A and B are shown apart, each in its own frame.
Chain A
Amino acid sequence: MSPVSPFTTRSATALANERLQRALADVPGGFVAGRARAKAALPEFEALRRTGRDIKDHALAHLDLYLEEFERNATAAGSIVHWASTAAEACDIVLGICRETGARLVTKSKSMVSEEIGLNAKLEAGGLEVVETDLGEYVIQLRGETPSHLIAPVIHLSTADIAEDFLRHHDHLPPDRDTSSPAVLIAEARGILRPKFLAADVGITGANLLVAKTGSAIVVTNEGNADLTLTLPRVHIVVTSIEKVVPTLDDAWALLRLLARSATGQEITAYTTLVTGPRRDGDPDGPEECHVVLVDNGRSELLGSGMREVLRCIRCGACMNHCPVYCSVGGHAYGSIYAGPIGAVLSPALVGVQEAGELAQVSTFCGRCEQVCPVEIPLVGLMRQWREVAFGEPGDGRSKLLLRVWAFLAQRPRLYHAAARMGTAALRAFARGRGTVSRHPLAEAWTRYRDLPTPQGETFQARWARRQREPTP
């Protein structure tokens, strides 16, 4: 690890970016308030979080059997199920289906798994036109960026930023048109995307859940773009990951009751669709073929790793919205498509600790993420596990030396208290009667952004010992 880590650099840039800071100012807060309202309106909410946890734990503990059951029932309903161990294999499968179809235009609804495996680049390199239809993802695609939030991909952008993108890219429209409000921008995007929906040869969606018993994929949106994507083209491809499977519809309903409330604070999203195979004989619309690509990409390794709980995640984004670090720096600072607390735990698991182990440091361990997680993932404990793993990796000698010194002292109480007394006295002497220290040569990184309060007397331990001796008044 270099002295200035990639996250430190990216977060400093993010904090200095005024446009980003303005965009981040209210939006996560709006989600927080929405979730609080939805939770207050459903007395069973907290109990449902435990149900959600138990459903996912049961499904993960029997994942092999539920995947086989899903495959059996999806196949019986007419779907073709594919298995991909790696990102590259998943992309090849999807590209292969598109080629067999003779596809030129592919529409996509939002899918984090497809971001994770880099699907768009692969399809475009294969000569296909790929159009993202979720409005946020559409903007991301225009900008050549990655989403900065699980459910609000352009949370880092203001309406004015998006207006500039539309003026630049939609150059067939009059340049002096109104682009001043979300409503007109949404109408403009609708006008551009509707013909794409109608002309697409293949539609690709993700899945929020898979249901083993029925062989269904469940897709949730507010825009209805997943429904247009999966209904209109001749071929529908579901690209999803193996941990999405739950046993029955009962389990799906319980998780769906948590998902929208935790994400946007809605009672339910406008569209929740259970897709079970292609159109049936006699159906006048719907796709003629339905493929489901089950992607592993490192997940099966996690089952036995002590990190299994991260696979409970239903991708609501609540941990991000409630994270003081995420809300300060936004998603891109994490350098991974999975940002926030869940990203800090999931990214090192997917791309390796050398690459993303640093993200486990990106937390104050305040624990709000755990308190709001709809499936009770112990995010703080998992980040701590990654910190331990990262500590065992080569690199950053200085931090390790300091931690070793601290550990040496912390395990020797007398020495620790003596050192604390000396440190306190030294700091008081350094402050020379001032209430705060605004610059200290040994703590520049701290004092650059904030003042250090001067110790006002004895150490806590000394005071505690004294109070224990004194009679209480």
Chain B
Amino acid sequence: MSRAAILANVRSGLKVEARHESERRASVEARLAQGAHHLVPARGKVGAEERVALFKSFLAAQGTDVIDVAADAEIPAAIAAYLGDRNLPLRVRVGGDPFLASLSWTGELARDTGVARPNDTAGLSRALAGVAETGTLVLASGADNPTTLALLPETHLVVVRRETIVGSYEDAVALISAELGSEALPHALNLVSGASRTGDIGGRIVVGAHGPRRLAVILI
């Protein structure tokens, strides 16, 4: 069986000897239990205001739009204005996220629920965190925020709270474990840093490859 053959080959390549086995296992167990705590860029280790500013500066560099809202209640109108300004249909698809469901969706914006359909024009998700060090949104798969919302519609809108903007990827994982109540990861943890793009043709990056052509962050 190949499993046994590969592992035996690896061990013989590494010249593993029985007398070192317990030492190797101890080293691996310690690493798995304690993590590694490598060097983390200093740029994210700043106060909350600066963190948000850094996050926004990277979003701008990626070409991601930022919509600042002062209160939860403003979100539906801000989305309608954003879509309307771009002559896009006033319609969004949203999952079962309790926070998004709790908003007052009266007004001109139509709302569909569930997973994204091929003809949807805009998807709305809630990110569990934003990472300042590179301007990255962290989205978890599941019924609350189905992954397809972030992939199929041409416009993807993402709600994120200022207090969930953290400095580093490491901090984001800690925050998400707390929110999900477990260290176990969902099927997909999507780190999104800009709309879909490619540099494959002509050597310059062009936005709108396969996924969204437009990414907008609604910052509460």
Contacts and interface: CB of A to CB of B under 8 A. Distances in A.
B82 interface: no
Given A135-B200, A280-B187, A213 B211 contact: no
Q: Which of B135, B141, B168, B205 has the most CB of A within 10 A?
A: B141
Nearest to A84: B2
A159 B201 contact: yes
A89 B5 CA distance: 13
A51 B199 contact: no
Interface stretch (A55-63, A121-129, A427-435, A458-466): A55-63
A301 B13 CA distance: 6
B164 interface: no
B188 interface: yes
Contact of B201 (A55, A182, A213): A182
Given A64-B14, A267-B135, A273 B196 contact: no
Contact of B118 (A84, A198, A214): A198
B196 A55 contact: no
Interface in B37-71: 37-39, 41-43, 58, 61-62
B201 to A, nearest CB: 4
A222 B186 CA distance: 22
Chain B interface: which size bin?
35 or more
A446 B134 CA distance: 49
Nearest to A26: B203
Q: Which of A51, A186, A278 has the most CB of B within 10 A?
A: A186
B185 to A, nearest CB: 4
B194 interface: yes
Interface of B is mostly: loop
B211 A275 contact: no
Given A69-B28, A224-B209, A253 B9 contact: no
Given A64-B16, A284-B95, A154 B5 contact: no
B7 A68 contact: yes
Interface stretch (B73-81, B97-105, B144-152): B144-152
Q: Which of A162, A282, A304 has the most CB of B within 10 A?
A: A304
A16 interface: no
Given A152-B199, A276-B187, A248 B36 contact: yes
Contacts of B116: 285
Contacts of A213: 32
B204 A301 contact: no
Interface stretch (A226-234, A330-338, A386-394): A226-234
Interface string B157-190: 0000000000011100100000000001111111
Nearest to B118: A198
Interface in A30-47: 30, 42-44, 47
15 contacts: A48-B38, A55-B38, A136-B200, A136-B201, A154-B201, A187-B208, A194-B118, A223-B197, A225-B209, A231-B188, A250-B36, A270-B194, A270-B195, A271-B192, A285-B116
